[in-house]
């Protein structure tokens, strides 16, 4: 499974996983794999989601930030990041992906961290086609869309993001 591979590879490379501190979904799998491989994790969760059903049970209190709002959570996840990796997901995933791309476009981040998509089983193909349609219609600049790195291979994507983030 790609999520578990990502978590293990992040740990192997000594990369800290900064995520929403959840135990469910693909990001829960990434966190489980990173922790199982001895990796460092840090989570940010809004108070209203901090329940036993959602909060990852193995996150250490020292590695957890609890915010008052979802907006503050996103800020605390986005601002310190050196790079972003997006896995298949739902509305929250799309919201965070487009927020990062928009903040990059507007140059509202402390730096311009690279953003990569793991296109597992072609999941993001329709979204990527829609972005190309927006470029063709003149609604998006090709350069902003082209800044999104797309791969199906975890190590290759992480290598590219690391190189663009200045980490090798």
With a CB cutoff of 8 Å and minimum separation 6, the contacts of 155 are 9
Residues 121 and 143 in one domain: yes
Q: Are 50 and 23 in contact (CB under 8 A)?
A: no
**Count of domains forming the chain:** 2
168 pLDDT band (50/70/90 cuts)?
Answer: low
Residues 45 and 91 in one domain: no
The confidence score (pLDDT) of residue 53 equals: 82
pLDDT digits (tens, 9 = 90+) for 12-25: 999 999 999 999 99
Question: What's the average model confidence in pLDDT over 23-30?
Answer: 94
Is pLDDT above 90 for 78? yes
**Domain endpoint, select from 24, 58, 80:** 80
pLDDT digits (tens, 9 = 90+) for 93-137: 999 999 999 999 999 888 889 999 999 999 999 999 999 999 999
Side by side, the strands of the sheet bearing 41-46 are 17-19, 41-46, 64-67
Among residues 131, 69, 74, 85, the alpha carbon closest in space to that of 105 is found at 131
Residues 86 and 153 in one domain: yes
For residue 106, is it within any domain?
A: yes
Residues 106 and 62 in one domain: no
Question: What's the average model confidence in pLDDT over 20-33?
Answer: 95
The confidence score (pLDDT) of residue 105 equals: 92
Residues 20 and 56 in one domain: yes
Show the domain range for 145: 82-162
For residue 168, is it within any domain?
A: no
CATH number for the domain harbouring residue 129:
3.40.50.450
Residues 47 and 111 in one domain: no
The confidence score (pLDDT) of residue 31 equals: 97
Among residues 95, 150, 98, the alpha carbon closest in space to that of 125 is found at 150
Residues 49 and 90 in one domain: no
Low-confidence winner among 33-37, 61-65, 82-86, 110-114 (lowest mean pLDDT): 110-114
Across the chain, how many H-helices and E-strands are there? 7, 6
167 pLDDT band (50/70/90 cuts)?
Answer: low
Residues 36 and 94 in one domain: no
Residues 97 and 150 in one domain: yes
The confidence score (pLDDT) of residue 110 equals: 81
Identify the three-state secondary structure at position 140. Answer: coil
Q: Which residue intervals of the chain are DSSP H helices?
A: 2-12, 25-36, 70-78, 91-105, 125-136, 142-146, 154-165
As a whole number of angstroms, the distance between CA 122 and CA 103 comes to: 26
Mean pLDDT of the chain: 95
Confidence (pTM) = 0.93
Residues 64 and 113 in one domain: no
As a whole number of angstroms, the distance between CA 52 and CA 113 comes to: 32
Residues 23 and 57 in one domain: yes
**Domain endpoint, select from 60, 80, 100:** 80
């Amino acid at each position: 499974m790609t999520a578990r591979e990502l978590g293990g590879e992040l740990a192997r490379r000594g990369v800290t996983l900064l995520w929403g501190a959840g135990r469910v979904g693909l990001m829960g799998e990434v966190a489980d794999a990173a922790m199982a491989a001895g990796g460092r994790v840090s989570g940010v969760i809004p108070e209203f989601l901090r329940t036993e059903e959602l909060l990852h049970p193995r996150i250490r209190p020292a590695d957890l930030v609890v915010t008052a709002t979802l907006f503050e959570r996103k800020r605390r996840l986005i601002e310190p990041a050196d790079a972003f990796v997006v896995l298949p997901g739902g509305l929250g995933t799309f919201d965070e992906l487009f927020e990062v791309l928009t903040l990059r476009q507007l140059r509202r981040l402390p730096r311009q961290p690279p953003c990569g998509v793991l296109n597992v089983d072609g999941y993001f193909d329709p979204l990527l086609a829609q972005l190309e349609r927006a470029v063709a219609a003149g609604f998006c600049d090709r350069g902003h869309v082209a800044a999104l790195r797309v791969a199906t291979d975890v190590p290759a994507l992480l290598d590219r993001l690391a190189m663009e983030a200045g980490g090798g």
